[in-house]
Structure 1
Amino acid sequence: MTPTTDCRYDWLGDPHELRACFPLMRVLRPHLSDADDFLQRLQRQAEQGYRLLAARAGDEVLGLAGCRLQENLLHGRFFYVDDLITREDLRSQGIGERLLAEARAEALRLGCANLVLDTALSNARGQRFYYRQGLLGIGMHFREGL
Structure 2
Amino acid sequence: MKIEHYDTATDLARCFALMRELRSKLTNEKQFIAQVQRQQAQGYRLAGLEQDGKPIALAGYRLLENFIHGQFCYVDDLVTVSEARGQGMGATLLNHLAVIAREYGCGQMVLDTAISNSGAQTFYQRVGYTALGLHFYSDLT
Q: Structure 1 residue 66 and structure 2 residue 60: aligned?
A: yes
Identify which of 26, 33, 52 aligns with 1:39: 33
- By how many angstroms is 1:61 displaced? 1.1
> What percentage of residue pairs aligned between the two structures are identical?
42
Is the 8 Å Cα contact of residues 8 and 57 (structure 1) preserved in structure 2? no
Identify which of 96, 102, 109 aligns with 2:103: 109
Moved over 2 A (4+): none
- In the aligned structure 2, how far is the partner of 1:23 from the partner of 1:11? 16
Residue 117 of structure 2 is matched in structure 1 by: 123
Residue 86 of structure 1 is matched in structure 2 by: 80
Unmatched runs of 5 consecutive residues or more in structure 1: 1-6
Residue 4 of structure 1 is matched in structure 2 by: none
Q: Structure 1 residue 132 and structure 2 residue 133: aligned?
A: no
Is the 8 Å Cα contact of residues 130 and 136 (structure 1) preserved in structure 2? yes
- By how many angstroms is 1:29 displaced? 0.5
- In the aligned structure 1, how far is the partner of 2:90 from the partner of 2:32? 22
> Tell me, what secondary structure is at the counterpart of 1:20?
helix
Unmatched runs of 5 consecutive residues or more in structure 2: none
The worse-fitting range, judged by mean Cα deviation, of 13-22 and 115-124 is 13-22
Aligned residues: 140
- In the aligned structure 2, how far is the partner of 1:12 from the partner of 1:58? 16
> Tell me, what secondary structure is at the counterpart of 2:42?
coil
The worse-fitting range, judged by mean Cα deviation, of 10-19 and 75-84 is 10-19
Identify which of 8, 18, 31 aligns with 2:12: 18
Is the 8 Å Cα contact of residues 119 and 126 (structure 1) preserved in structure 2? yes
> Tell me, what secondary structure is at the counterpart of 2:131?
coil
Q: Structure 1 residue 143 and structure 2 residue 137: aligned?
A: yes
- By how many angstroms is 1:14 displaced? 2.2
TM-score normalised by structure 2 residue count = 0.96
Identify which of 27, 38, 50 aligns with 1:56: 50
